A and B are shown apart, each in its own frame.
Chain A
Amino acid sequence: MTQQPSRVMSIVLALIAIPLALITLIGLEPLPILPEPLRAGAGTLSQLLVQGITVVAALAVIVGVANLLHVQFGKLRSFPTGIYSLITVLTFFAVIVIHVLERLAILKPPAGTEGTIYTLTLMDILQVAIESALAGVLAFFLIYAAYRLMRRRVTLWGVLFTVTLLIVLLGYVPLTGLDFLHALREWILRVPVAAGTRGLLIGVAIGTLTVGIRVILGQDRSLRG
């Protein structure tokens, strides 16, 4: 037997969400035909709602961390993939301990520095360096994926994609005799790429608008229980 949500609950959710959505909309983009007190009230209320969301977001980070730890603890049992989870959990607690020690001034920063220098250094060493290394590897993955694309389906659009990619990449090569490629690359980026980008972004904006309408009408699934 399916457990369907209460119809009353769906209506209550919609009754809360629809006015709040409209108030936020009017508060963020005041409607000139509305009387001034109403506009000011909507503006204040929408600011309050936006601030409330910021508080919720801050609290949600704690929930996120709990979720992360729960999932990683659950994976500790499996070998060898559990090793990565073990590293994640150990790093998490190590950084917290170091940060607390710094805050309590038990771990003192080196002479000439101040603040939570150890935590920040760890962040620089681990995250920034590793992320930069991953970013470097991405280019190779992309080329491999482009190769796979051509192997999978040789279509007009696939060929066009690959040829354009080659022209743009070769256009960056600083060799004499490739000036025509520099000019072609510039034209590709300025005309077809810019036009395509705008077209896609307009499409995304229109799509966003229609989903927004669905939410305002209380017809999104999240409001239907």
Chain B
Amino acid sequence: MSAGLFYGVILLALVGTLSAALLYRRFVLRPIEGYQTLRLTIDRALETNTAVHVSFGASALREESTLSAIASAGVLYYVAARATLADRPTITTMSDPVTLGLGQDTLRRAYRSRGALNNYVPSQARWYPSGPLSLAFAAGVGAEITDSDVYANILTGRFGVELMLMAEQPIRYNRPIVAHSDRIDGLAVAYVVSETPLLGEELYAGSGYLDPTPLHVGGVIAQDLLRFAVIIGLIVLAAMAFSGVVK
């Protein structure tokens, strides 16, 4: 990609975000079922004295999945803050050791925001190493879900087909899963295992729904604007190709 186009797209996103942030009260975000379920699921876990589990999967800070790790951390913050007073702590798992630091920090900040820092234990964030196929990680997380009596599983970040292995126990006991993956194979599995999957860019819109500051809502609107820009671009290019203007 040429540098001009690269920075042009970034500038468009920046201007879109800031403009929409200024006018954010005028916009109403469309409901996303995954986020609506998330609230109810956490409350249900609190009522039934069971734990909530958030997994980052293979999302890794420093790699191309960095931003999916950051977006997942936003979801973890929301979940942990809402479930601070639960008897069973919110746990989080990941296969990247650098992301372990992000998970611990996010949990710590969530507990601090509710004045419950004393309840926070660093080992609520748990690292499971992944082998060549990430299945070792999935097996570890699967065991964790059983051991910790997890009611709700929020699996957001980078997963492949190993997502199925993690979802096996919740499916068997009919427990809710909110699943997402930034990989296509993982996304296909997420669609099958979850009644309310987060598809494609919906994870990245999470901050606008869970932490609706003007800039976060602006970011979600910019996301939609960019999507429309891509659709229009594709249609125009297709029309030009059909008419023989471009080959």
Contact = CB atoms under 8 A, between A and B. Distances in A.
Interface string A130-167: 11101101100110111011001100000001000000
A217 interface: yes
B147 A78 contact: yes
Contact of A56 (B74, B98, B227, B230): B98
Residue among A29, A54, A134 with most chain B CB within 10 A? A134
A71 B204 contact: no
Nearest to A123: B131
A161 B191 contact: yes
A207 B6 contact: no
Interface residues of A, number: 71
A209 interface: yes
Interface in A65-110: 67-68, 70-71, 74-75, 78, 81, 84
A208 B136 contact: no
A181 to B, nearest CB: 20
A138 B161 contact: yes
26 contacts: A3-B113, A3-B115, A4-B112, A31-B3, A63-B97, A64-B97, A67-B127, A75-B147, A81-B143, A138-B164, A141-B167, A141-B168, A145-B189, A145-B193, A202-B230, A204-B200, A204-B201, A210-B220, A211-B67, A211-B207, A220-B70, A221-B73, A221-B74, A221-B211, A222-B73, A222-B105
Interface residues on B, range: 35 or more
Given A63-B101, A208-B68, A217-B215, A134 B139 contact: yes
Contacts of A1: 115
Contacts of A199: 200
Nearest to B122: A67
Nearest to A205: B201
A213 B109 contact: no
Contact of B128 (A61, A68, A144, A215): A68
Contacts of A144: 171
A208 B71 CA distance: 9
Contacts of A127: 131-132, 136
A210 B6 contact: no
Given A131-B133, A204-B182, 9 more contacts: A25-B10, A60-B100, A61-B97, A130-B136, A131-B131, A134-B138, A208-B204, A215-B67, A219-B216
